[in-house]
């Protein structure tokens, strides 16, 4: 079955933000990040000594390491802050995508493209946390599979393709998570899909990319019986400081709808 091209009246130059997805840390940013991620960091801090103990001392080491880790969990917040400050800038792509979707198609007040970053920074943080809570486990699952070299499963991708199309058909842009095989699990990305074209087993999404103000980008895929191939004109791949999403330019491991 073929699908006609479907687009919402979303224009990245008007309905997306005109500033790029690049922010410098402030104390308020670090506090917001710490409050949001501290519950996740604590189990991680507790698990490290337990893992080390198991590797060196078997079950007794595991128990002893777990006891040490339990005593370290109050420092989870420090781990979050210290890790974040390893990078001079950070992104709020999910927050920008979700906020742009929420503001569309209302024509009240300033267009989204006329908004400046500082007055809405707290809003973007709140929306970013919503997308992370909704998608964190899914990002981790698909990223782990990509790092292990597992092929993208056709059934998974087509299920997400259907969910994204259905949301757009209902008149709502869809926040989409983009997953790659970059060594850094935090180097993943979120965009806003406002249109699509394709068939049951191949297709293209038209997206607003917070990293590229005012531009329309695409994410495309094809499938065979048991695996899928995803490509994009977003700037993914090697960067001067590592990798953005993927280790290969123009390639993705998975996409999925973020139900935020």
Please name the residues in contact with 134: beta carbons below 8 A apart, sequence gap of 6 or more.
258, 259, 260
Measured CA to CA in angstroms, residue 9 lies from 167, 188, 251 at distances of 14, 27, 28
Per the DSSP assignment, residues forming a β-bridge with 208 are: 192, 216
How far is residue 8's CA from residue 170's CA, in Å, rounded to a whole number? 10
| Structural tokens at position 176 | 């989409």
Measured CA to CA in angstroms, residue 29 lies from 24, 41, 42, 49, 91 at distances of 9, 17, 19, 29, 11
Residue 21 gets which letter from DSSP?
Answer: S
Residue ranges covered by each domain of the chain: 2-21+135-257
What is the reported pLDDT for 63? 37
**Which of 36-50, 121-135, 235-249 is the least confident region?**
36-50
Can you give the pTM of this predicted structure?
Answer: 0.82
What is the reported pLDDT for 37? 65
**Which of 13-27, 33-47, 79-93, 171-185 is the least confident region?**
33-47
Element (H or E) spanning 257, and its range?
strand 254-257
């Amino acid at each position: 079955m073929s699908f006609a091209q479907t687009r919402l009246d979303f224009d990245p130059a008007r309905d997306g933000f005109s500033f790029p997805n690049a922010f410098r840390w402030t104390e308020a940013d670090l506090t917001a990040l710490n409050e949001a991620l501290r519950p996740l960091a604590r189990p991680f801090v507790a698990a490290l000594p337990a893992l080390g103990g198991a590797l060196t001392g078997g079950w007794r080491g595991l128990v002893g390491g777990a006891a040490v880790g339990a005593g370290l969990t109050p420092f989870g917040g420090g781990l979050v802050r210290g890790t974040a400050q390893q990078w001079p800038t950070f992104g709020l792509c999910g927050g920008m995508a979700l906020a742009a979707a929420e503001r569309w198609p209302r024509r009240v007040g300033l267009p989204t493209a006329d908004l400046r970053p500082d007055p809405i920074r707290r809003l973007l943080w709140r929306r970013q946390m919503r997308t992370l809570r909704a998608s964190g486990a899914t990002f981790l699952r698909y990223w782990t599979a990509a790092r292990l070299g597992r092929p993208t499963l056709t059934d998974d991708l087509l299920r997400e393709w259907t969910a994204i199309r259905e949301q757009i058909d209902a008149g709502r842009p869809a926040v989409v998570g983009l997953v790659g095989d970059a060594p850094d699990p935090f180097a993943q990305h979120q965009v806003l899909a406002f249109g699509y074209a394709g068939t049951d087993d191949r297709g293209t999404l038209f997206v607003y990319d917070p990293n590229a103000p005012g531009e329309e980008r695409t994410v495309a895929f094809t499938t065979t019986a048991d695996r899928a191939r995803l490509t994009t004109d977003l700037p993914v791949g090697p960067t001067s400081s590592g990798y953005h999403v993927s280790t290969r330019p123009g390639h993705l491991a998975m996409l999925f709808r973020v139900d935020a």
